[in-house]
Amino acid sequence: MAATRTAKAHWEGSLLEGGGQVNLESSGLGSFDVTWAARTEPEASGRTSPEELLGAAHSACFSMALSHALAQAGNPPASLDTQADVTFQPGEGITGIKLSVNGNVPGLTADEFAEFAEGAKKNCPVSQALAAVPITLDVTFTA
């Protein structure tokens, strides 16, 4: 069965001086302030950006896909820690995503884990939706 999730954004003012909020409507988990400065300045404390939200979605989706593939192969992970760094370049847009994953998977070698991670990078639905953006992967393994 298909599932639809909803988020809403409200914006006031110009791009550079304005601001808004993103609301997680389906879950009701919260509202988050969003500004242009949060996209382009190093310190965005208390504000988020589309890129950070995209990174949250990508890291969660990748972790789910990797966990599923590992479990299907008989090696469910003890833990997976995934980070998604989404790069935004004003005037160009999103220019790259770097996924970094550290896995603790009993019964696998580091090379085997890396193969599963590459498969998850390719096959997770968010990676597929973002296929126009270069996605790299950094893998570490905890035995």
Residues 135 and 103 occupy one common structural domain = yes
Whether pLDDT at 24 is above 80: yes
Q: Which domain holds residue 22?
A: 7-40
Band (pLDDT 50/70/90 cuts) for residue 137 is: very high
Mean pLDDT across 102-125: 97
Specify the DSSP element, H or E, that contains 85: strand 79-89
5-32 mean pLDDT: 95
Residue 89 has what DSSP assignment? E
Calculate mean pLDDT across residues 42-57.
89
Regarding whether 124 and 98 lie in a shared domain, the answer is: yes
Q: Are 96 and 32 members of one domain?
A: no
Which CATH number characterizes residue 61's domain? Answer: 3.30.300.20
Specify whether 27 is located in the same domain as 54. no
Averaged pLDDT for residues 107-120: 97
**Is 79 found in the same domain as 13?**
no
In 30-77, alpha helices (H): 36-40, 50-72
Are residues 127 and 88 part of one domain? yes
Cβ atoms 92, 40 nearer than 8 A: no
Q: Are residues 31 and 55 in the same domain?
A: no
- What is the model's pTM? 0.94
